[in-house]
Amino acid sequence: MGLRNIRKEGDEILKKKSKDVDVIDEKIKELIKDMIDTMHKYDGVGLAAVQVGILKKIIVIDLYDEKPIIKLINPTILKTKGKQEVEEGCLSFPNKYVKVIRPEEVTVEALDENGKKIKITGTGLLAQAICHEMDHLNGIVLTDVMIPGTMEFVDPQNNK
Ligand SMILES: [Zn+2]
């Protein structure tokens, strides 16, 4: 199990744009595993590589719905549909929640960890998670997209 340090609000790296992964080598696969471990450790729904300090276009998402964990390398959004107003948090903004407008449905194209091209269409929470993590790859964070005045602070119930 490999845990990585999560970069938090105020860390300049979160404002930077991630670059394409050129070669999916063992180092990248190791990073993906560590990202999944780190996401699970903090009960996150998704994590982008930049959040562990690496400016590469890699996203992991787990909705804890018994479906396989989604791993996206070099993802691009092909299309979006509809709108939903949702509450959103971020592992880089612990204990903060905001409201944002996200598409209701999103289709994304990417490579999986074997370099195979995949296409995923997500609705609801999955669409929200994909868009949130895509923002990270573009250096955009929660406070950039929140509906103004909707930030709430929630005291942690337990420190893990
Ligand atoms: Zn986030």
Given this model, what pLDDT does residue 111 score? 98
Q: Contact, 141 vs 93, CB < 8 A?
A: yes
In a domain, 5, yes or no: no
133 carries an active-site annotation: yes
- State the average pLDDT for the chain: 96
pLDDT at 158 over 60: no
What domain count does the chain have? Answer: 1
In a domain, 4, yes or no: no
Lowest mean pLDDT among 11-15, 65-69, 125-129: 65-69
Task: State if pTM tops 0.75.
Answer: yes
The proportion of the chain whose per-residue pLDDT surpasses 70, expressed as a percent, equals: 97
In a domain, 3, yes or no: no
Question: Ligand 1: distance of its center to the CA of 142 in Å?
Answer: 7
Q: Residue 134: which CATH number?
A: 3.90.45.10
Q: Which helix (H) or strand (E) holds 102?
A: strand 96-102
Question: Ligand 1: distance of its center to the CA of 84 in Å?
Answer: 18
Question: Ligand 1: distance of its center to the CA of 24 in Å?
Answer: 23
Residue 62 sits in which domain range? 12-153
Task: Tell which residue, 71, 69, 62, 78, has the closest CA to residue 21.
Answer: 71
In a domain, 7, yes or no: no
Given this model, what pLDDT does residue 160 score? 46
